Structure 1
């Protein structure tokens, strides 16, 4: 994703871990991957209120999928678990990154894998090309609001409006699995 690597966790089955110290108390992003041919998994955030521990659902990762999530600041621990009490998880991996660990969104961005970029400045248009299934989502830095800018299950070309400062995530669309094909995002003039 960038020269700065985030904190990585991987395993099989249920796992709980403290949010890394450099990320604790603030919002951060996670790239979550579920290996092929394994059951999906859920990510929960753990909070403590009035002596009660609560797990709150943050996201679900289907088998073979890669998703991006923004984690709110209130969670001190994250939990990876099966989609139901009787389901186990397969192999999974999480990469947790602060906003400063993300590469800047440049005038031209391309790859053949999922990516996240930090966007600075106001709203701008960008031309997007996907050789196969793909989606572009935007996370607002303030409230963490997620907005899907485009999603398609086949190759496509079009234009999206990046709403402004935040995180742009390029990944397969929800429910798609397997490796991504080549994609390109080119910003139009400022």
Structure 2
């Protein structure tokens, strides 16, 4: 049975997902809640919540002028307009069209890409980079569960109706205008 048949047999995608016996993925070393579920949901909907995104995401750094051409071979979506200080969703498949993984790809500079997502995304790209003749270099920043010496970037997310007000209050010289899937720089006081 393919995915379309499975969706139809349940009367729609939502019904199929609700009927799933799959369990929630619990990431080792990451608490499922920090205070309690009710308070965290309330903050998310009525205040501000701070998410630490470095725990569960692996980063693959791809350096070299051919980095974008390399990643584009595996992407189902068009990456041709990925520029420095922009990001895009990256959906990767194998040569037969089977889904490998998705991730976010950041254009850090003309010759530096950062792929952030589950380890499967980094594993697939790293494996293929090691088989490639392209002049690219790949390095990894594992998720926080894997011990390591250092990390160059930590990812945090503020969310909630008062997140922007909080950010305005804690940055020097105001917030830059950052459009969808763009990157901006500012200093937190």
TM (normalized to structure 1)? 0.31
Larger strand proportion of the pair: 1
Larger helix proportion of the pair: 2
